[in-house]
Structure 1
């Protein structure tokens, strides 16, 4: 798992189920495995969780079957089954968007304190670990603070109680949380695109490490955890965030447009048209098109029905299948054309390689110039557990250096990141592997400038290998 592993939504409102249901659904692009919700109704906490890997959230958690009268509700789409539920001094349900790297040691510590877990390790979720850490403290706020301080990694979470909802953004601000407001109600979300059609307006962006409480009448900041700092993942703007959302008050759609324009400013390439790998590449390609005064055409059409995002599934075979079937080429546009093809990122390089080989070159274009809206990635996402040597950059370095049956070391990575000549050779090798006419990536500096955020405030692990914690 890596990047975009989950999204959270919560609401406090009289008869809140409709807003809760559709608010969660607006986060479906962030995860593919499970959808779940909890609602405080008739003095109890009702919970439901379903596997959504083979269907959409709306079709698995059916509105009519689950519709409950209640004032407070929380939910998530994620890679693990949620919500967690705890009975204690305060009964509560919890959903999290988290990646806990020291989960095994935390489980052992809690077991020694007499706290029980499922005997099957694969059934123990991040959400359940966080819930048990919180439950052993004297109150919810202290429990959240100590839980977020105990973990290695990151966790944003929502806690549902009979008094209202507690929301906490992770200490490093890797993932966003935003409070929305409308008459006599509040909502909390990862994605602000979940607000407008539910008639909420943005009230505030939670700070890193902020613990906030709200009910249908009020909200208040309970605490900001000491030592918190902002290191948000820039891929919310570049790739997996909804283009209608904003993060840190910066529009994802506008950031993508700016990135595409920045790429175009660096060259004077003549082409018949600019195309995007949809959907996230569309705004990048639009910015490139306007800046370069080259018309935009939809040479690839995305067929969304029933297909999730291709980078999300944990199995490579499934990623390949989704990538293949969800994109349809417009053959008449591609034939005999010189085209610029803009995509958000290249990680392993396999999807771009197959895209060009299966969907573009068979229709006889003259040239295919690939432009990438993020820098070459030298490290897997800090939230992920993938093999670094599967990345396109490291495969190219291995080929250039004749490295066989051993890892590409960080010394090689540093050389190819910082030495302009070696960097260009690496990019040229990736270009050959994906069968492009030419290949260019935006620089890290230009990407950050285009987003309009300080370089100190984003996670750069994919490119530098430097951890935020």
Structure 2
């Protein structure tokens, strides 16, 4: 079996996108639109839960938002003025409807639905403790741990039980929670995963990215702050900050790859940052060449920046078909090789005889880069130079990103010279970690905590990793199999 996404199968993948609406007639329809804009953050499954003032309604499905939530009968069944939705991309865990969010449970205080972007890094330990105390889990998702912690908390009010639960978890989370009392949106104390708030007339909207606000016509108000809980009851807003203040560490890879380029993150245009990364890469790693060619589509903004800084012409040397869905081809090396070209194909007349600089956002296992370089050579390129708009990815992420185990990361096994040989390029270079920060207008200082979470590049994890540090190798393997965000 071959899927026709040969250049997409070796990317770091964000696990989830979340979207919530409070105080709008037909809230579920707005959520469906918002999830369309966040589809890039999770393409395996989608779900929406609504509240009509008396009961909750949920529809969850495998696959994309389109085809599942563009049918009138589905949206009409999700009645209510409050709704939350989720798009999901799991890691190596089980692909099953029971793991599709929002997750819902009936607590003593009433219904409780939660949509989560991130990863709880002590979820396995908490889960085992809860099971020993009699908890019965219905999914393999770390998100369900939060529900059980809320249910078993000894505090009196729901909000206090929720805060109590959050104080027991480690890792990264952006959450949208629905209860009969209202909607809660919150981020972990370090703000590792993004969450923004918008307003559409009297309607409050929460989303993983500002582009989802644009799609529904909502105005961006502000980011939900790290460690903040925003509670919405009707049209009334209140803010709670129950955690001790910490220096925020948002994920730096949002700027490199995860966020859509038309989003705004921390008052910065993602597109402009990616162009600045490309320009810095040209300063750090120049090369004599005839063309700058992006690996579509994520490499385009950085390639524009590289071309503008270097003065080398920007050209679309790889053409991507946006009309090819998932195609299945019988095994066989020759047919598999031909199937690769269904999705991406070299612009042969442009490439032939040219010295080409390929710009991509990252190298993970290296298999994608190998295919792209090979494609350029087969198209007749005289030289193929690879430039990467992020530092080498040497460490796994445990904060809600699907990353291979470290042993499978090419940069964890080989130096740059070895990686160059592996992908058969004439040269290979990555932007430095200092250069990445410079493109963001920051400086990474060794004597203080960096402003971003850059653990995938540096190994500097900003939180405890209980499940990784304390469990046996067998348990760690099981964790990789069950981590589904």
Q: Same fold (TM over 0.5)?
A: yes
- Paired with 1:347 and 1:158, the residues of 2 have a C-alpha distance of 31
Give TM-score scaled by structure 1 length: 0.84
What SS is found at the alignment partner of 1:98? strand
What SS is found at the alignment partner of 1:262? helix
What is the count of residue pairs matched by the alignment? 422
- Which residue does 1:66 correspond to in 2? 74
| Contact residue 82 and residue 95 of structure 1 kept, 8 A | yes
**Deviation at residue 157 of structure 1 after TM alignment:** 1.0
Matches within 5 A, 1:220-235: 220-235=238-253
What SS is found at the alignment partner of 1:244? coil
- Which residue does 1:368 correspond to in 2? 384
- Paired with 1:255 and 1:71, the residues of 2 have a C-alpha distance of 37
CA spacing shift, 1:445–1:117, aligned 2, 3 Å: same
Matches within 5 A, 1:261-340: 261-305=279-323, 325-340=342-357
CA spacing shift, 1:187–1:454, aligned 2, 3 Å: farther
| Contact residue 253 and residue 454 of structure 2 kept, 8 A | no
CA spacing shift, 1:454–1:227, aligned 2, 3 Å: farther
- Which residue does 1:463 correspond to in 2? 457
**Deviation at residue 156 of structure 1 after TM alignment:** 1.7
**Deviation at residue 227 of structure 1 after TM alignment:** 4.5
- Paired with 2:384 and 2:281, the residues of 1 have a C-alpha distance of 16
What SS is found at the alignment partner of 1:37? strand
CA spacing shift, 1:324–1:32, aligned 2, 3 Å: farther
**Deviation at residue 372 of structure 1 after TM alignment:** 0.5
CA spacing shift, 1:51–1:71, aligned 2, 3 Å: same
Matches within 5 A, 1:445-464: 445-453=434-442, 455=444, 456-464=450-458
- Which residue does 1:315 correspond to in 2? none
More divergent stretch after superposition (438-447 vs 82-91)? 82-91
Selected match of 1:204 from 222, 237, 246: 222
| Contact residue 434 and residue 443 of structure 2 kept, 8 A | no
- Which residue does 1:417 correspond to in 2? none
What SS is found at the alignment partner of 1:150? coil
- Which residue does 2:147 correspond to in 1? 131
- Which residue does 1:10 correspond to in 2? 20
| Contact residue 134 and residue 143 of structure 1 kept, 8 A | yes
Verify: 1:260 aligned to 2:278, yes or no.
Answer: yes
**Deviation at residue 270 of structure 1 after TM alignment:** 2.9
CA spacing shift, 1:268–1:393, aligned 2, 3 Å: closer
| Contact residue 120 and residue 143 of structure 2 kept, 8 A | no
More divergent stretch after superposition (433-442 vs 40-49)? 40-49
Selected match of 2:86 from 76, 88, 92: 76
- Paired with 2:128 and 2:413, the residues of 1 have a C-alpha distance of 38
More divergent stretch after superposition (145-154 vs 175-184)? 145-154
Q: Whose relative contact order is higher, 1 or 2, with alpha carbons under 8 Å and at least 6 apart? A: 2
What is the RMSD of the two structures over their aligned residues, measured on CA atoms? 2.3
**Deviation at residue 159 of structure 1 after TM alignment:** 0.7
CA spacing shift, 1:116–1:268, aligned 2, 3 Å: closer
More divergent stretch after superposition (323-332 vs 188-197)? 323-332
What SS is found at the alignment partner of 2:84? strand
- Paired with 1:380 and 1:365, the residues of 2 have a C-alpha distance of 34
- Which residue does 1:41 correspond to in 2? 52
Extract structure 1 runs of 4+ deviating beyond 4 A. Answer: 320-325
- Which residue does 2:372 correspond to in 1? 355
CA spacing shift, 1:111–1:270, aligned 2, 3 Å: closer
What SS is found at the alignment partner of 2:258? coil
- Paired with 1:454 and 1:212, the residues of 2 have a C-alpha distance of 31
Matches within 5 A, 1:382-421: 382-383=398-399, 386-396=404-414
| Contact residue 86 and residue 135 of structure 1 kept, 8 A | no
What SS is found at the alignment partner of 2:61? strand
**Deviation at residue 428 of structure 1 after TM alignment:** 2.0
**Deviation at residue 307 of structure 1 after TM alignment:** 5.3
Unpaired stretches in structure 1, ≥5 consecutive residues: 309-319, 397-425
**Deviation at residue 454 of structure 1 after TM alignment:** 5.8
More divergent stretch after superposition (223-232 vs 64-73)? 223-232
- Paired with 1:435 and 1:255, the residues of 2 have a C-alpha distance of 29
Greater percentage in helix: 1
